[in-house]
Amino acid sequence: MTLVAITPPDYQVAIDLRYATPANFTGKPVYARAEAFLHVDAARHLSRAIELAAALGLRFKIFDAFRPSEAQWKLWDFRPDPDFLADPRRGSPHSRGVAVDLTLVDAASGAELDMGTEFDAFTELSYHGSTEVGVEAQRNRHMLLGLMSAAGWDFYRREWWHYQLFESRRYPVLSDSVLAPGLMGAA
């Protein structure tokens, strides 16, 4: 299984891996390293999305990508909420290397576009189709959805930030041992 590092200059994205910091819903780092990886198939689709966004003066900021199965268990143990987290017994698309959590930023300033909620806001306000967020946030979510869909990504209706490859279950669940060194470390 080939995982590709998602780093500039090969991928013109900003990296803000929230699970490598305490700025996530657990309140403490889950990963020891703030590095993003995707399966080679997902990386190819991300490249296409990057091209489409660049034509509009936009870039992506990545909050999460490959999530080792060990990390999925940590998140699930903290908050076993099947509406917003995949049950690790079934496997997450993140743990298969074929999902990415991201937002749009202005390419010139780096400012995040308003999406109406923060990343990992586990409420109905995070749903793609929520009309309870402002009109600008709704437009930005639709733009993100359009860019990612045009690049071949599927979406999860309850999280505006989550995209995965179609038929993600055909990819195997991966543990931290596929990377050397792994993301988990002593976190």
Handedness of CA 74, 77, 83, 87 (dihedral sign): positive
* Number of Cα atoms under 13 Å in the Cβ half of residue 167: 3
Closest CA to 12 of 48, 64, 63: 48
How does strand 37-39 pair with strand 13-15? unpaired
Give catalytic residues, as residue numbers. Answer: 159
CB atoms within 10 A of CB 111: 10
